[in-house]
A = this chain, B = another copy of it.
C-alpha cells in the first residue's frame, strides 16, 4: 500500500536506497526480492520494512537486462474470431493479475512465408518468459520448435491434444459435438447436414469427427449433398445455406462448425421462409455473442476459452504466479466444452 514517492518529479527509490535504509548491501536486498533462502528472519524483516517504507518497486527493465529475460508473456495469434482472442486474453490476465508479469499481444500472419522469421525476431527482441499459441497457429510444429529453440516456454491451445499435457491446453470438442448430434438423432432427425470448417484446421477436423461418430452410432450416413465446405466465415454459412436448403430433400437439421456460419445459414432459412426450429434445426459451435444475438437464439457448443486462458497461464508460468496457483487440480489440461441448448433446435416436422 504505502508509496511515498508519488510526486511528479519524484524519483523512484532504487535498490540502493533500500539497502542504505535497511543498513545492508544491495545484494541482500536482491536476495529478499528473489525470495532466496539463507537469510535471517531478522534481516529479511528489516529489508522488507525498508521496502515498504520507501514504496520500492524493483525496476523490471533492470531485472530484464540482468536476467536476460523480460517478465512478459507473449500471446501469439492469428485468429479470425475476435471474441475468442479477447476472452482468452481475459483469462490470462485474470491469472497473472497479481504477478509481476504483463501480457504482450502479437498477431502473426500465418500464410506469410516470413512468419517464422517475424516471430523469431519478435521473441529474440522481447525475450518473454513464455509464449502462448492460439489456434490455428498452435498447430504449427515449427513455431513450437522455434520457441523451444529460443528458450521460450510455450503452451499450445487446441481442440485436441497436439503436444504433451504440459504444453497443451485443450478441450473435448469432439465428444461434445457427438453429444449434440446424438441429441438431434434422439429428436428424430434423420437427414442431418454438416457445414465444415476450413481445411487444415485441426478444430475443423475434430468437429467433423465428432459429427460422423454420432451419425455412425445411429447407423445414419452423410450423403455428399448434405456436406458443405466452409471457412468459419458468415459468408460460407450463406453459401452452405443456399446449397443445402435448395435441395429437393433438404436436411431437417444442420450442424455448423461455428456460430458465424450457423448465423449465415439461419439467415438464408429466414429468407426462404423456412421456420427455425420448426422446419430446420441448427446447431453452431463457439457460443460467441452471435449465438445469442441472432433469432432464434442458437444452440451451440460452449468452448471454455477464458478458463483455458487461466489454465494456460497456470501451466506456463506456475512459478511466477502467487501461491495457490498449484491448486490447478486436474493436470490433464483438458477442459470441458459444454453443449448449450437454446431455441434453434426442435423435433423435425411431422413428429
A residues adjacent to B (C-beta < 8 A): 6, 8, 12, 57, 59-62, 64-65, 68, 70, 82-83, 85-87, 89-90, 93, 100, 102-107, 120-122, 124-127, 149-150, 234, 260, 263-264, 266-267, 270-271, 289-290, 292-297
Q: List 6 A-B contacts (CB under 8 A).
A: A8-B150, A61-B64, A82-B82, A270-B295, A294-B294, A294-B295
Inter-subunit contact A105/B107 (CB<8 Å): no
Inter-subunit contact A90/B107 (CB<8 Å): yes
**In the complex where A104-B104, A149-B8 touch, is A289 in contact with B292 (Cβ < 8 A)?**
no
Q: Closest B-chain residue to A294, C-beta based?
A: B294
Inter-subunit contact B107/A104 (CB<8 Å): no
Having A61-B127, A64-B64, A89-B107, one finds 19 other A-B pairs with CB under 8 Å, namely A8-B149, A8-B150, A57-B124, A57-B125, A60-B125, A61-B65, A82-B86, A83-B83, A89-B105, A90-B107, A100-B125, A102-B106, A105-B105, A260-B293, A263-B293, A267-B293, A267-B294, A267-B295, A267-B297
Inter-subunit contact B104/A126 (CB<8 Å): no
Tell me the minimal C-beta distance from A56 to chain B in angstroms: 11
Q: Closest B-chain residue to A266, C-beta based?
A: B295
- Which of chain B's residues have a CB closer than 8 A to the CB of A234? 289, 292-293
Distance A290 CA – B104 CA, assembled complex (angstroms): 28
Distance A150 CA – B64 CA, assembled complex (angstroms): 21
Q: Closest B-chain residue to A269, C-beta based?
A: B295
Inter-subunit contact A263/B61 (CB<8 Å): no
Q: Closest B-chain residue to A83, C-beta based?
A: B82
Q: Closest B-chain residue to A65, C-beta based?
A: B61
Q: Closest B-chain residue to A69, C-beta based?
A: B61
- Which of chain B's residues have a CB closer than 8 A to the CB of A149? 8
Distance A126 CA – B102 CA, assembled complex (angstroms): 9
Inter-subunit contact A87/B82 (CB<8 Å): yes
Q: Closest B-chain residue to A235, C-beta based?
A: B292
- Which of chain B's residues have a CB closer than 8 A to the CB of A62? 65
Q: Closest B-chain residue to A270, C-beta based?
A: B295
Tell me the minimal C-beta distance from A230 to chain B in angstroms: 15
Distance A63 CA – B337 CA, assembled complex (angstroms): 45
Q: Closest B-chain residue to A5, C-beta based?
A: B124
Inter-subunit contact A61/B57 (CB<8 Å): no
Interface-centre pick from A89, A107, A295 (highest chain B CB count, 10 A): A295
Distance A267 CA – B344 CA, assembled complex (angstroms): 13
Q: Closest B-chain residue to A6, C-beta based?
A: B120
Interface-centre pick from A82, A105, A120, A293 (highest chain B CB count, 10 A): A293
Distance A125 CA – B6 CA, assembled complex (angstroms): 13
**In the complex where A62-B65, A82-B87 touch, is A294 in contact with B263 (Cβ < 8 A)?**
yes
- Which of chain B's residues have a CB closer than 8 A to the CB of A60? 125-126
